[in-house]
Each structure stands twice: as structure tokens, then as C-alpha cells.
Amino acid sequence: MIKQTFGITKVPFLQSDFSLLPHQQEIVDVIHIHAQHGGLCVVTGDPGVGKTTIKKSIEKRAAQKDHLIISFSKTMDTYNKIIRQMAESLELDGSEKTIEREIHALIHEHSRNNKILITIIDEAHLLDLDSLRRLRLMFDRFPRRHNLILFGQNDLMLRLSYKNYEDIKSRITYSKELKRISDDQLMEFIQRETKAVRLPKNSFEDAALELILRSVNGNLRLCANLCYGSLLEACRIGERIVDHSHVNSVLIQPHWRNHEELLDGGKDD
């Protein structure tokens, strides 16, 4: 609908195709420097502040011949199932008894071919830390040029700060907590998304933009969703400029209301 209304070939604000903001690019650059020398990197932040965008950018390096990327996110599984995820990422299909040995053999083979090795664990705040310790012991036998990256919410670092996990925390070579995005950064994001698909500069009225920024409170994912939903609302009624009424049409949907507002709405009913 958006393509037909605006005569464009690509839809903006789809989270599978974001380009990095400058502060995200800086994190990616630092992580790749650590990958060249070996490291343990931790990136934390509230949901929606850009961790997934950074992770996907790193995963794209898998297409390069000099990189090997292992990535998984089912962190509530047992240690053995996590190892199985790693094996699947490497396209290995060994038995439970031999799978760790096969992973090590393949990793060392890639290392001898001068590949940069990166393992990404997403949703690491859900990972049982005893499983993380077992993974750490496994990664200690990996080649030197290997970077383990943990992506998780802010309580991950709090858990790692407990004294009984000092053996893990002491190995961290780089960590970054992503803060909520500033309004200027969000405006840059909106402008980049609209420019990339050649939407007219006035596709969003100033009042609509102000309402979007106020409503998302520095959350990049919510900003993308609200912009996309507002564009759909405008297109649905055949309009080519998003105003505050289109934004409000999205904001009245239940999933945009917080817990207290939902409780109050229930009482009113």
C-alpha cells in the first residue's frame, strides 16, 4: 500500500534493513578490532535501543570469506542444546558425545585459514550463568583470534558483577550500555529512512514528528513501528502526508498503552 501510494519501490522503517546510526557504527568498529586480537564483548541495553541492528550488522560479515560467524539466541535451553545450536550454525551434525570436539576441529581449521572468528549470543541475560561458565571454558580452547559477543538487557552486567562470576567478568575486553536514543538521533534516523526510499521531505508534518518523538521516549524500535504504522494510516485513507491524526490513530491501539492506562481503560469499561 505504501509503495503504491507514494510511487516508491522500497518501504521505509522495516527493521530488517536498518542502516547503522553513528554511535552504533562506532560499537561495530570497536567489536571488529577486538575480534582481530581475541576478546569477550558485552553489549547491553533496554529493549528497542538498537542491539538487534548492531547484531545484524555484525552477522552480515558472515558473507565475507575472511569471517566465520556463529550466532544463536535460544539462551533458555540447556547447555547441550546450546552446543547443538552452535553446531547447526556451523552446519555440523555430530553426535552428542563428539559434537564439542567437532566444533573445535572446525574452528581451528578456519583459524589456520586466517579467518576472524566471532560467536554471538543474543538474549544473553536469559542465559543460565553456569551454562555461560561452561561455554567460557569451551571458548578458552578456541584459537586466539576469536571474539565472543554477548547481547542482553541491562541486568546481564549486574549478574556478571556477582563475585562468584568474577572469572567471567574479568575476561571482558569491551562493554557498552546502549542508552535511549536522543531526539536528534531519532530525527536523523527518520530522515535517513525516508531519504533512502525517496519519500518527499514533507511526508511527515512537524506536529506528527513531535508527537512521534514524545511517544517513543528514545526507543528506536518503537520509533520505526510508529512511523511505519502512521504511514499506513495515511495511505489507508489515500493521503500522502502524515499528520498528528494519523499518529494518534496508531497510538490509541491497546499495545501502545502502558500498564496503568490499560488498567484505567478496563475500569472505564
Could you give the domains of the chain? 2-17+181-268 (1.10.8.60), 22-178 (3.40.50.300)
| C-beta separation of 45 from 150 below 8 A | no
Instruction: Note the pLDDT of residue 227.
Output: 96
pLDDT in tens, the chain (269 residues): 888 888 888 899 986 666 788 999 999 999 999 988 888 999 999 999 999 999 999 998 877 888 999 888 888 888 888 898 888 888 888 788 888 999 999 999 988 988 889 999 999 999 888 888 888 888 888 888 899 999 999 999 998 998 888 888 999 999 999 999 999 999 999 999 999 899 988 999 999 999 999 999 999 999 999 999 999 999 999 999 999 999 999 999 998 887 677 777 655 44
Q: At what angle do helices 79-89 and 99-112 cross, to 10 degrees?
A: 40
Q: What is the pTM of this model?
A: 0.84
Give the H or E element holding residue 181.
Answer: none
Beta bridge partners of 41: 149, 174
| C-beta separation of 75 from 119 below 8 A | no
Instruction: Note the pLDDT of residue 230.
Output: 96
Q: Calculate the alpha carbon distances from 102 to 84, 86, 144 in Å.
A: 11, 11, 18
Under DSSP, the state recorded for 41 is E
Instruction: Note the pLDDT of residue 15.
Output: 64
Separation CA 161–CA 157 (nearest Å): 6
* Residue that has been written with the C-alpha cell 552446519 in this structure: 91
**Number of neighbouring beta carbons within 10 Å of residue 65:** 8
